[in-house]
Amino acid sequence: MKLILIGFGAVGQGFAEILLEHGDALQARHDFSAHIVGVVTASKGNLYHPAGLDIAQLLRTAETGSFSDYPESEPLRRDWDANDMILRGSADVLLEASPTNLETAQPALATCHLALDQGLHIVLANKGPVALDYGCLREKADAKGLHMRYEATVMAGTPTMHLAEDALAGCAIRSARGILNGTTNYILTQMETGMTYADALAQAQDLGYAETDPTADVEGWDAAGKVLILANALFGNSLTMNDLDVQGITDISSEDIDRARQSGHRYKLIAEARPDGGAVSPQQLPMSDPLASVGGSTNAITLDTDLLGKITLIGAGAGKLETGYALLSDLMAIQRAT
Ligand code: HSE
């Protein structure tokens, strides 16, 4: 598989590290091999090589903040942007892992449409296009017989979308409810141990959990984006942010958390997607609620199904390798299906 990777932050680098470390095993065990032919970034520069870029050099030069030290090797291009790579290159899949924009989904949305128009499968870690334009992207991908996958957008590489869309394909899912933001769950967990909100947020940023602009995490918009993705993908809705009630954790103080604990409760930011809408809000859960024991950056989701009742999945909600793995799992699913 030849890949164009948009974005080389925590997620893109995590994916590259996985290919570097596990490439031989993936080839031997699953006959899976992938070459990153293009990388497009906002601040490090762009690189395209039709035979595939050297992943170790990509990671090394990314650490310096620029690809300018990436070794020359004909016919390497540094002047192509994402459109050039899609239109003039020879990739099979576009991986969108640039920062999420939940207001317009751009520029990622236009890039995804162009990739589909040109016959590339698309795999997204960027939540914007899936949250805001799921219906049009799905229609275009289906009409062209292309794959559109987005495991990374909800609960990192924890197989939420694989579970809901593939393993549970014969069930009707009636609702999805859980903890869908790693940053806020990490902050709430750390605040319980006495850490300040500001220190806990700074740690979540250092650990690569938070969005580029962490306002999206703490005000609930990141979780709301995931609610839209679930609602659109599972219920065929075309909900928008205006259809959701969204509240984050910025109004919750250390005193609130202490008071909740004294009464046997714990604050969690709970997200819920239903066929008729959805919501994100901080809730005091009794300690007996299984979601109350999901701590740190771990996430959890309960899918209520018609044939199997409730199924709960608990796992990583954010992180470099954890989200990078989601891209790999989507690519392997595309390989199996093509
Ligand atoms: N900022 C997101 C979170 C990353 O904290 O959950 C994963 O979507």
SS3 93: strand
Would the pTM of this model clear 0.85, i.e. be above it? yes
- And the tokens for 161? 């979308």
Instruction: Give the single-character DSSP code of 176.
Output: E
Would the CB of 211 count as within 6 Å of ligand 1?
yes
SS3 40: strand
Q: Could you tell me how far CA 290 lies from the centroid of its own chain?
A: 24
Name the helix (H) or strand (E) containing 96.
strand 93-96
DSSP code per residue over 301-324? EEEEETTTEEEEEEEE-S-HHHHH
Ligand 1 atom 4: the closest Cα is on which residue? 318
Active site residues: 226
Amino acid (1-letter code) at residue 132? L
φ and ψ at 65, to 5 degrees? 95, 0
Ligand 1 contacts CB of residue 322 (under 6 A): no
Instruction: Please give the distance, rounded to the nearest whole angstrom, from the Cα atom of residue 118 to the centre of ligand 1.
Output: 30
How far is 76 from 218, CA to CA, in rounded Å? 41
- Supply the pLDDT for residue 237: 81
Distance between CA atoms of residues 136 and 173, nearest Å: 22
Separation between Cα atoms, residue 277 and residue 140, nearest integer Å: 25
**Which residues partner with 304 through β-bridges?**
175, 310
| Residue 221, ligand 1, Cβ within 6 A | no
The pLDDT, as a whole number, for residue 238 is 84
Q: Is 269 in the pocket of ligand 1 (CB under 6 A)?
A: no
Q: List the chain pLDDT tens, one digit each, 338 residues.
A: 999 999 999 999 999 999 999 999 999 999 999 999 999 999 999 999 999 999 999 999 999 999 999 999 999 999 999 999 999 999 999 999 999 999 999 999 999 999 999 999 999 999 999 999 999 999 999 999 999 999 999 999 999 999 999 999 999 999 999 999 999 999 999 999 999 999 999 999 999 999 989 999 999 999 999 999 999 999 988 899 999 999 999 999 999 999 999 999 999 999 999 998 999 999 999 999 989 999 999 999 999 999 999 999 999 999 999 999 999 999 999 999 99
